[in-house]
Amino acid sequence: MNEIPSAVRDALWRRKLTEAERAQLPAQPELELEARLTGALAKTPNVPVPSNFTARVLDAIDREESAAARPRIWALNWHRLLPRVAVVAVALIVAGLSVQRYETVTYRASLARTVAMVTTAPPPSVDALENLDAIQRMGQSAHADGDLLADLQ
């Protein structure tokens, strides 16, 4: 469209072409397309627009430009976020498995120490075994007898 002279294009937009100008249209396909488009636009009815239409359009353009220029902090960029989430997930899984393994090893070591201590301890005396029931009852807390308290009142 840059090859079309500006004067011819302006004449096409502003007035109907003369017969001599119409005869030149088939030689320039861009100009013929422009003439058909101008004719189609001329047939469309005029629509009433609000008095502040231009101001509203320019405000919308300004809003779009400012939104495009402003950095989008909270927008999700999955191409950058997904690898980071994957690395964090792998790190958490490795840390969890390490903690679980440490707890298992610590428990087994504690169990081995306890078994070793029990096997090296001397067996309990016969007196302790005879009074085992009394010794076990000593560790229990005293309970109030509800029937006895009811009888006393």
Q: Give the per-residue pLDDT at 1.
A: 46
Model pTM?
0.36
Measure Cα distances from 55 to 50, 59, 63, 65, 143 in Å: 10, 6, 12, 15, 88
Consecutive sets of 10 residues in the chain, 153 residues long: mean pLDDT of each? 59 75 73 81 86 94 87 74 94 98 97 91 79 76 73 80
Q: Give the per-residue pLDDT at 142.
A: 67
Beta strands in the chain (DSSP E): none
